[in-house]
Amino acid sequence: MTLLTISAIAQSLGKSESTIRYYRDQYSDYLPYVGDGRRRLYRPEALTVLRKVCDCYAAGMAASAIKAILASEFAVNIQEQLPQPCEVGKDANPQNKTDLGVFAEVRDEIATLRRAQERTNDLLEAIIEARRTAREAPAPVMQEKKLAKRNWLSRLLGL
């Protein structure tokens, strides 16, 4: 079985690699592949799927219609590797114990961040309340100034 790269698929279809990557991202459920990340290689069946996608785009079909066609003609790709459960106990893998320790550290860090967020929210509420009271406090001061001004004016006019 020959495995193909994105560049090999693009060359055989006469499309650019960026176009094939776009198609791969849009229709990855139907593309059989081996490996992950930069080392991902595609089975020959992926060439058939991508050729169908290219033909559908050339015919002016919408992405939803292309997905419907792919769903009717090709099998959905299922991940072959499932994560292994962590073992806990005296015979547990040391790496799994390390992973559990890391998870505990992350959980503690999240709890610390939540407490810090609660303190920040309390401070913000206090600041908002202080501003609210500050807005209300100057109003009586302004009224007193207006009364003082009227008193001066009324004294001058004799009212």
Q: What is the pLDDT of residues 12-43, one digit of tens each?
A: 999 999 999 999 889 888 888 887 777 888 88
Q: Output the pLDDT for position 82.
A: 39
For residue 142, pLDDT over 70 is answered with no
Q: What is the pLDDT of residues 46-94, one digit of tens each?
A: 899 999 999 999 999 999 999 899 888 888 876 544 344 555 555 555 5
HSE at residue 126, side-chain half, CA atoms within 13 A, is 6
Structure-token pair, residue 108: 């503690």
Q: Please answer whether residues 28 and 37 qualify as being in contact, where contact means their C-beta atoms are separated by less than 8 angstroms.
A: no
Task: For tokens 């401070």, name the residue.
Answer: 123
* pTM of the model as a whole: 0.48
Q: Output the pLDDT for position 57.
A: 92
For residue 155, pLDDT over 50 is answered with yes
Q: Output the pLDDT for position 141.
A: 56
Q: Output the pLDDT for position 14.
A: 93
Q: Output the pLDDT for position 157.
A: 74
Q: What is the pLDDT of residues 98-129, one digit of tens each?
A: 667 777 788 888 888 888 888 888 888 888 88
